[in-house]
Chain A
């Protein structure tokens, strides 16, 4: 076991109460209603939806609140009929077995929780589905199942006997709010934009967002947008290169648009990558200008989407798709520039900008101007003065370090 102090934040901040579970309010209501009053209508419930949106968390929180004892099995356990009978049958045959064992435990009964039921596959689990079906039929206690993909054919028999509760991706603003709360409790100073990027990158997966937050904020308890730049898109089933290849080789706008809608690459990175690669795709200046015109429109849609208006995403895809089809006949395969030039450039120049910003903050404080104004109307002149005379009196007056003086003297003109 890990030491208390090194707890994963996903565990440390796993909600203990139903109301603390973030998002998916409809699913929560449906599930709780079943657990409280409607267990007689269906014997089992199947919670399904993407990973990390709170299915297991909700079950555990609900069990705690209603004082159920959870008997858990998950995909890592063997699912053969024998194993299921060994664990599940005793659990379901008596209404409350555990309640005698512990005087303080006010458990009102057991619930059987079968996590990741879509993990049932192959020879090892032979008969697994049928065994679960039998258990559901015979069960005296609630049976709760969780799955990521409810469309796997062999789960169909389960769907007939279960109440289906659908979980969706948790909305980005909710994830941001949760991350902000954790930052507060963990004393992490985080830029809003950084949290925004983590949340967007998670695609509604709260668990991955919290994990990213913990790994990126590291030991110095701070998190800037820059720190998140190297964040890789999660759950990528196809790489950005592969998506670019498909994007540029598809022959119609409609195909490209639907390809984009089904891909899971990070939209922002992908837009940047498309823009980076347009000059390699179109060598004719008029075609290039048109392609960028569409990229520009796509970016405007991205701006309007912000973190709220995700229903506008289709227009973003459509505008972006148009940039791929300016002149379909001229397409020849080419090697892509990835990752985005912007991200690489900003990464390698971070130190330079920091030094310059520090110098400008010193100037700004003494001369009552903003950092930006200092850059524009002071730095060009300070640079010339220091080039003439390295120990110019302004050096001591601005309290510039030798490193900063050196930086100013050797920096180029903008």
Chain B
């Protein structure tokens, strides 16, 4: 990519390009550097960990180290959650590795295939992936990126060197954010940095996005108030609304909101359930017991979603359970008063 075309999302602008630039993750970086000395010894790799902890960054840094500026010619980036089924994945990998049979030249030992969100693949798709890995392994290496390695089938795990990424430490993240702000000629106040760190729960990508957004609000100094404002305006509102309506017993409105989310934003049933679970634990007007009870209900429907054919039915059923739960809270309250 031409250097004049600067990446203007800060997550890209400040993404480390080489293994040496990576801050933290020392153990992982050291092992990878050892592979880089003799690239042919590099096995397939699996990077597992929560979002925003550097998995993609390290995968791209490996590509940079192996191939230099023309890394894109030898690297296939795929995202399992974007590709429609294993057949597309197979076709794209096949097309890509076809070039490599004739060889890339002396300095390029193999082609690199980075498969992000690989734990989104179904069991059968993973089995097919395993075959693809076997066939392609003479000419290419895979880096599988996932949130949970336990969702990857054993035969694939056993073919990879697995690296686990833990949440970015608070202090390290804080320093990193202050550093970026400085380069962008902003002063990030310590309380403001703390607030971002707290909010992003160890997800550096999310934290940098918050930081960049606050910089659009104010010049010079970024304070806690601005951060709070941005966090407030960016956090999901419809899911909250859906839960509230349901707990107040207004099933019809709650379901209407659900269709707003599904229709306008196209979130999957799984994603909506995940967000409901998150939001429940943010609701301070519920007692810990109530939150736990609701979480139990959510868990049941999270499971049913994997069994059922139609996520709308399961989400509607979940909302109906919430409405019933809300009614019971009301009655308990009336009795005790």
Residues of A contacting B216 in the complex (Cβ-Cβ under 8 angstroms): 384-385, 388-389, 392
Query: Are B309 and A299 within 8 A (Cβ)?
Result: yes
Tell me if A375 and B312 are in contact (CB < 8 A).
no
Which residues of the partner chain B approach A396 to less than 8 Å between Cβ atoms? 8
In the complex, whether B333 has a CB less than 8 A from a CB of chain A is no
Chain A contacts for B206, CB-based, 8 A:
377
- Give the CA-CA distance A369 to B11 in the complex, in Å: 11
Q: Is there contact, CB below 8 Å, between B266 and A353?
A: yes
What residue of chain A has the Cβ atom nearest to residue B11's Cβ? A367
In contact, A397 and B8 (Cβ under 8 angstroms): yes
Residue A292 at the chain B interface, CB threshold 8 Å: yes
CB pair B323–A342 under 8 Å, yes or no, is no
Interface size on A, residues (CB 8 A): 66
Contact between B267 and A375, CB atoms less than 8 A apart: yes
Residue-wise interface mask of A (153-194) relative to B, using a CB-CB cutoff of 8 A (1 in contact, 0 not): 000000000000000000000000000000000000001100
**A353 touching B12, Cβ below 8 Å:** no
A386-414 Cβ-contact flags toward B at 8 Å (1 or 0): 00110011101100000000000001111
From known contacts A368-B116, A381-B213, A414-B239, infer whether A289 and B310 are also in contact, taking CB-CB under 8 Å.
no
Taking CB atoms, residues of chain B closer than 8 Å to A293 are: 317, 320-321
Interface string of B226-270 (1 = CB under 8 A from A): 000010011111110000000001011001000101111111100
B82 and A364 contacting across the interface, CB-CB below 8 Å: yes
Known contacts A286-B327, A377-B206, A414-B237: does B310 contact A272 (CB below 8 Å)? yes
Instruction: Check if A353 sits within 8 Å of B323, measured CB to CB.
Output: no
Cβ of A370 within 8 Å of any chain B Cβ, yes or no, is: yes
Which of A288, A304, A381, A414 contacts B212 (CB under 8 A)?
A381
Of A27-35, A40-48, A257-265, A344-352, the one with at least 4 CB within 8 A of chain B: A344-352
**Residue pair B234, A384 in contact (C-beta under 8 Å):** yes
- Chain B positions 1-41 with a Cβ under 8 Å from a chain A Cβ: 5-9, 11-12
Q: Is A353 a contact partner of B9 (Cβ separation < 8 A)?
A: no
The answer to whether A352 and B310 touch (CB under 8 A), given A286-B324, A296-B317, is no
For A396, the closest partner residue in chain B by CB is: B8
Residue of B nearest to A306 (CB): B309
Instruction: Give chain B residues whose Cβ lies under 8 Å from the Cβ of A369.
Output: 56, 79, 116, 205
B137 to chain A: closest CB distance in Å?
24
B263 touches A368 (CB 8 A): no
What CA separation (Å) do A286 and B262 show in the bound complex?
Answer: 26
For the complex formed, measure the closest distance between the CB of A193 and the CB atoms of chain B, giving whole angstroms: 10
| One of B168-176, B183-191, B300-308 contacting the partner | B300-308
The answer to whether A366 and B233 have CB atoms under 8 Å apart is no
- The closest CB in chain A to the CB of B200 belongs to A377
Q: Which residues of B contact A368 (CB under 8 A)?
A: 56, 60, 77, 116
Give A378 to B212 CA distance when docked, in angstroms.
11
Contact A296 B312, beta carbon cutoff 8 Å:
no
Q: Are B210 and A381 in contact (CB under 8 A)?
A: yes
Instruction: Identify B266's interface contact among A268, A286, A357, A383, CB under 8 A.
Output: A357
Interface hits, A332-378 → B, CB 8 Å: 341-342, 345-346, 348-349, 352-353, 356-357, 361, 363-364, 366-373, 375-378
A10 at the interface (CB under 8 A from B): no
Number of contacts between A and B (CB, 8 Å)?
A: 187
**A285→B320 CA distance, assembly (Å):** 7
Near B by CB (< 8 A), chain A positions 290-332 give 291-293, 295-296, 298-300, 302-306
A15 at the interface (CB under 8 A from B): no
- Complex CA gap A299/B303 in Å reads 13
B325 and chain A: residue at smallest CB distance: A289
Query: Smallest distance from the beta carbon of B62 to chain A beta carbons, Å?
Result: 13
In the assembled complex, the CB of A200 is this many whole angstroms from the nearest CB of chain B, namely 11
Contact yes or no, A299 B8, CB < 8 A: no
Q: Does A119 contact B (CB under 8 A)?
A: no
Q: How far is the CA of A368 from the CA of B60 in the complex (A)?
A: 9
Chain B positions 259 through 296: 1 when the CB is less than 8 Å from some CB of chain A, otherwise 0 = 10111111110010000000000000000000000000
B85 within 8 A of A: yes
Contact of B262 among A275, A291, A345 (CB under 8 A): A345
- A271 B236 Cβ-Cβ under 8 A: no
Q: With contacts A366-B7, A368-B116, A385-B216 known, is A292 near B316, CB below 8 A? A: yes
Q: Cβ of A361: which chain B residues have Cβ within 8 Å of it?
A: 82
Partner of A268 from B60, B205, B310 at Cβ < 8 Å: B310
A49 at the interface (CB under 8 A from B): no
Q: What B residues does A375 contact at CB under 8 A?
A: 265-267
- B217 proximal to A (CB < 8 A): yes
Q: Are B234 and A381 in contact (CB under 8 A)?
A: yes
Query: Are A364's CB and B324's CB within 8 A?
Result: no
Q: Indicate if A279 sits at the interface (CB-CB under 8 A).
A: yes
Is there an interface contact between B313 and A388, defined as CB atoms closer than 8 Å? no
How many Å lie between the Cα of A384 and that of B312 in the bound state? Answer: 30
Taking a contact as CB atoms under 8 Å apart, the answer to whether A300 and B308 are in contact is yes
Is there an interface contact between B7 and A414, defined as CB atoms closer than 8 Å? no
6 A-B pairs with least C-beta separation: A349-B263, A380-B234, A296-B317, A289-B324, A292-B317, A397-B8
Apart from A285-B323, A363-B9, A388-B217, what are 5 other A-B pairs with CB-CB below 8 Å?
A: A378-B209, A384-B216, A392-B216, A413-B233, A414-B264
CB-defined A-B contacts under 8 Å, sample of 23: A275-B316, A278-B320, A288-B320, A289-B317, A289-B321, A289-B324, A293-B320, A296-B308, A296-B313, A299-B309, A341-B259, A353-B264, A364-B79, A367-B11, A371-B81, A372-B267, A376-B271, A377-B51, A377-B203, A378-B209, A384-B233, A413-B237, A414-B238
